[in-house]
Amino acid sequence: MQITSSATIDAGLDKVWDLLQDIPRVSTCMPGAQITETVDDHTWKAKVGIKVGPLSVGYNATITRQSLDAATHSATMQVEAVDSKGRGTVSASIVTSAKAVGDATEIDVVADANISGVVAQFGQGALKEVSGRMLKIFAANVAKAVNTPA
């Protein structure tokens, strides 16, 4: 399933790009996400909680940054996650990019995700709605974070 979303952040591209490169710091902007371990410069362990309909699910995830391109302000990550109760998995390749739009920055996120288990029963429509809502919260949190010292 492909999930795409965009958000505009009221901050300059350089500030937003600096934050987006810092996975432990930017993860605090994602609702329900928490980095639990830095494995190396490109790999992190995390806990991620999401709510889809009446269902709350917690995942243990490994996030691996596969590429980072400062010239195009884009990055590719691979996320492998397992439901902490053994009810499903998520495997996703996520490409993020940022571009200046006047004094603001537009972030585009494209995820190619394979979702199995209990969350998959809600279907693509519900999952896309949840991901869109999460990106809006993420964008608002990024806007706050870029103006807060690390």
> Per-residue confidence at 125, pLDDT binned at 50, 70, 90?
confident
The answer to whether the beta carbons of residues 145 and 25 sit under 8 Å apart is yes
The answer to whether the beta carbons of residues 94 and 111 sit under 8 Å apart is yes
pTM of the model: 0.86
The answer to whether the beta carbons of residues 78 and 109 sit under 8 Å apart is no
pLDDT value at residue 150: 61
Grouping H, G, I as helix, E, B as strand and the rest as coil, residue 124 is helix
Give per-residue burial for 76-103: e unless 16+ CB within 10 Å, then b.
bbebebbbeeeebbbebebbbbbeeeee
pLDDT value at residue 60: 97
pLDDT one-digit tens code per residue, 9-34: 889 999 999 999 999 988 888 888 99
pLDDT for 129 beyond 70: yes
Average pLDDT, the chain: 89
In angstroms, the CA 15 to CA 9 distance is 10
Instruction: State the CATH architecture for 2-145.
Output: 2-Layer Sandwich (3.30)
Residue of 144 and 83 predicted with greater confidence: 83
Mean pLDDT of the region 111-139: 82
Q: Token pair for residue 72?
A: 């195009």
Can you give the residue ranges of every domain in the chain? 2-145
In angstroms, the CA 97 to CA 147 distance is 20
The answer to whether the beta carbons of residues 23 and 63 sit under 8 Å apart is yes
Q: Token pair for residue 2?
A: 């492909």
The answer to whether the beta carbons of residues 1 and 90 sit under 8 Å apart is no
Mean pLDDT of the region 130-148: 81
